Amino acid sequence: MNVYAIRAIYRFEMARTRRTLMQSIVAPVISTSLYFIVFGSAIGSRIKEVNGVSYGAFIVPGLIMLSLLSQSISNASFGIYFPRFTGTIYELLSAPVSYFEIVISYVGAAATKSVLLGIIILATAALFVPIQIQHPFWMVLFLLLTAVTFSLLGFIIGIWADNFEKLQIVPLLIITPLTFLGGSFYSVDMLPPAWKVITLFNPIVYLISGFRWSFYGLADVAVGVSLGMTAAFLAVFLAITAWIFKTGYRLKT
């Protein structure tokens, strides 16, 4: 494994974050804080507790997951799309760097940024409400798995997209709505029976449920199912990435 190449690409991507600190870190934290203040104040005044947890604390895992999913996709998609846009991707593909090392570098950098952002948001939320983490190991595991999985999705989107507008289609029109409807601000158990069944077809429900369980021991679905769904997403995106490099899809033309 070419460790030097991985480190060089990883450092370059992390340096880009430092150059765009306002867009990469500050803006998502402010947006999440506004969500927290608005939803926590408006809805929290009517819903004091959800299964014994104050509403303000209850929505923290959902807010972290909302930012984690969107930022993982955005960071990874832009990271690989920009070299394609400028044409420098061909220099990378002709260098003595394997496809596996390229994926590790870009996905690793995107996941690192997302995890750091998630930690910052968690620390920010702790200023507003008392945070309780009952299962810290599982919290970190869900955080890392989700960041890596959706960074892989972002990597795939960055290769698929042929303009900057397409980079935003999946995060804005698919992931964000599914996250809002996936129990970020409410428990699935609060829904009518028919809507509860429909909601369970939303894959984001399982990610948020497992992550919230690691905080408060509350879950809308079994924790094992949540972990299995996360692993299934990871396997699917790995398979798609392998196919892209095997066929040269959008890379050789």
User: Would residue 252 count as lying in a domain?
Assistant: no
Mean pLDDT, the chain cut into blocks of 10 residues (253 residues total): 88 82 76 75 73 87 91 91 84 84 93 92 85 94 95 94 87 89 88 90 94 94 93 94 88 67
Give just the sign of the alpha carbon dihedral 87, 74, 205, 227.
positive
Q: How high is the pLDDT of residue 202?
A: 94
Contact between 48 and 55 (Cβ < 8 Å): yes
Contact between 49 and 55 (Cβ < 8 Å): yes
User: Would residue 38 count as lying in a domain?
Assistant: yes
Which run of H or E residues covers position 49? strand 49-50
**Number of domains making up the chain:** 1
**Residue holding tokens 């990378």?**
92
Domain extent, residue 54, equals: 3-247
Q: How high is the pLDDT of residue 136?
A: 95
User: Would residue 175 count as lying in a domain?
Assistant: yes
Burial class (CB in 10 A: 0-12, 13-18, 19+), 16: middle
C-alpha–C-alpha distance, residues 174 and 100, integer Å: 28
User: Would residue 168 count as lying in a domain?
Assistant: yes
The alpha carbon of residue 45 and the mean position of all alpha carbons in its chain are separated, in whole angstroms, by: 29
pTM assigned to the model? 0.91
Q: How high is the pLDDT of residue 93?
A: 78
User: Would residue 253 count as lying in a domain?
Assistant: no
- Longest Cα separation, the chain: 60
Q: How high is the pLDDT of residue 28?
A: 80
C-alpha–C-alpha distance, residues 170 and 167, integer Å: 7
Radius of gyration for the chain, computed over Cα atoms and rounded to the nearest angstrom? 19
User: Would residue 169 count as lying in a domain?
Assistant: yes
User: Would residue 215 count as lying in a domain?
Assistant: yes
The alpha carbon of residue 159 and the mean position of all alpha carbons in its chain are separated, in whole angstroms, by: 18
Q: What is the dihedral of CA 49, 50, 55, 60, to 10 degrees?
A: 150
Pair of tokens at residue 247: 């066929």
Which run of H or E residues covers position 246? helix 223-247
Q: How high is the pLDDT of residue 252?
A: 66
